């Protein structure tokens, strides 16, 4: 049996139902063993959610060995086998992301109607770090300890400013489809509800909400022994 794929995933208590749906969507499509490691704040400063900065602990928590995947998780839905994403790993890059061009969000406020409600800031490389293939052994991650991360600006981290541009590789766009920003969802591998999950009342009619609701229904049916 092959070594499990290590997936670090963001956990936000207010999005617990979203996290459960995300895990269900990942595990039921996985063709290989998967090791899931939820990340909340881990004692680091929070941003718009609990795991804003803690995602960058993945190499440290991996002992700076091997490779790992980070996914926002709580506001995502997997529509493909995670092994397909792992297959895209490049050993010469420090990190690989979907390099979305600069865009202005359609939702200046996110998580509306919840305790998480906040401004949805526009900035360069927005959402690049929400899906990352991470080469934990790459020199760009050396020294990225909890102490160093705690002293860095969250926006600098999210824009991957600690990594030289030439060491940031790309991923196909279908691996981080921002459905609420109008991105094409046909053929999506990961649906990303970046402004609010359909589990929140204000987002029940969000684009691709039906896919999220189907996954939720499949999960609850499985819990009740109907699958």
Task: Report residue 16 as tokens.
Answer: 């617990």
User: 8 with 69: CB under 8 angstroms?
Assistant: yes
Per residue in 125-172, pLDDT tens? Answer: 999 999 999 999 999 999 999 999 999 999 999 999 999 999 999 999
The token pair that represents 81 in the structure block: 């086998």
Is the pLDDT at 79 greater than 90, yes or no?
yes
- What domains does the chain contain, in order, with CATH numbers? 5-222 (3.90.550.10)
Backbone angles phi, psi at 201, to 5 degrees: -50, -40
Query: Where does the pLDDT of residue 46 fall: very low under 50, low under 70, confident under 90, or very high at 90 and above?
Result: confident
The model carries a pTM of: 0.94
């Amino acid at each position: 049996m092959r070594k499990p794929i290590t997936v670090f995933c963001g956990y936000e208590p207010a999005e617990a139902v979203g996290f459960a749906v995300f895990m269900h969507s990942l595990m039921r499509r996985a063709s290989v063993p998967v090791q899931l490691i939820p990340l909340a704040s881990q004692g680091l400063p929070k941003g718009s959610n609990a795991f804003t900065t803690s995602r960058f602990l993945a190499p440290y928590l991996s002992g700076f060995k091997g490779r790992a995947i980070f996914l926002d998780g709580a506001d995502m839905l997997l529509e493909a086998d995670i092994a397909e994403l792992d297959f895209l790993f490049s050993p010469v890059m420090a990190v690989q992301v979907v390099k979305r061009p600069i865009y202005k969000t359609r939702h200046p406020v996110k998580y509306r109607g919840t305790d998480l409600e906040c401004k949805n800031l526009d900035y360069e490389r927005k959402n690049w770090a929400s899906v990352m293939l991470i080469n934990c052994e790459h020199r760009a991650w050396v020294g990225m300890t909890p102490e160093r991360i705690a002293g860095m600006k969250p926006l600098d981290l999210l824009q991957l400013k600690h990594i030289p541009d030439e060491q940031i590789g790309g991923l196909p766009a279908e691996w981080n489809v921002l459905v609420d920003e109008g991105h094409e969802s046909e053929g999506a591998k990961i649906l990303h509800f970046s402004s609010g999950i359909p589990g929140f009342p204000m987002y029940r009619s969000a684009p691709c909400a039906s896919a999220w609701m189907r996954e939720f229904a499949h999960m609850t049916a499985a819990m009740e022994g109907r699958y």
